Structure 1
Amino acid sequence: MARKDTLTGKGALSGNSRSHALNATRRKWNLNLQKIKVMDEDGRVFTIKVSARTLRTLKKQDKVVG
């Protein structure tokens, strides 16, 4: 499974690690994914994986169950 936010579609970022001598090695910044339960308009509960930033937004909108 890809490390992606289910709602926003955001994924991991990639770039270089730079040493003091400016040597470049590839690295990846993964998302801080959290499993949460969300209720839709019909009252059904789904378990999805969202990033911590998206979770803050959902909590503001009172969409998170539990």
Structure 2
Amino acid sequence: MARKDMLTGKGPLSGNSRSHALNATKRKWNLNLQKVKVMDENGQLFTIKVSARTLRTLKKQNLIVE
């Protein structure tokens, strides 16, 4: 599962890159993925890839193990 947030399921967005002459070429906006260690309800520790925004939410909820 490359380039996906393992918690929210969000993936890269696609669209067009526009020049001054309005030429359109396909491009992709990738997520800012970070590896993070998270503890589940049973106290088991595992590493997942999450986006920077999801990481911010996890830190706010004190679910990150550092």
| TM range, smaller chain | over 0.9
> 4+ residue runs of structure 1 moved beyond 4 angstroms?
none
The TM-score with structure 2 as length reference comes to 0.98
Long gaps (5+) in structure 2? none
Alignment-mate amino acid for residue 22 of structure 2:
L
Give the whole-Å Cα distance in 2 for the aligned partners of 1:46 and 1:62.
Answer: 16
The TM-score with structure 1 as length reference comes to 0.98
CA RMSD in angstroms, aligned pairs only: 0.6
Long gaps (5+) in structure 1? none
Q: Count how many residue pairs are aligned between Structure 1 and Structure 2.
A: 66
* Identical aligned residues as a percent: 83
Query: What are the residue-to-residue correspondences of 1:12-51 with 2, within 5 Å?
Result: 12-51=12-51
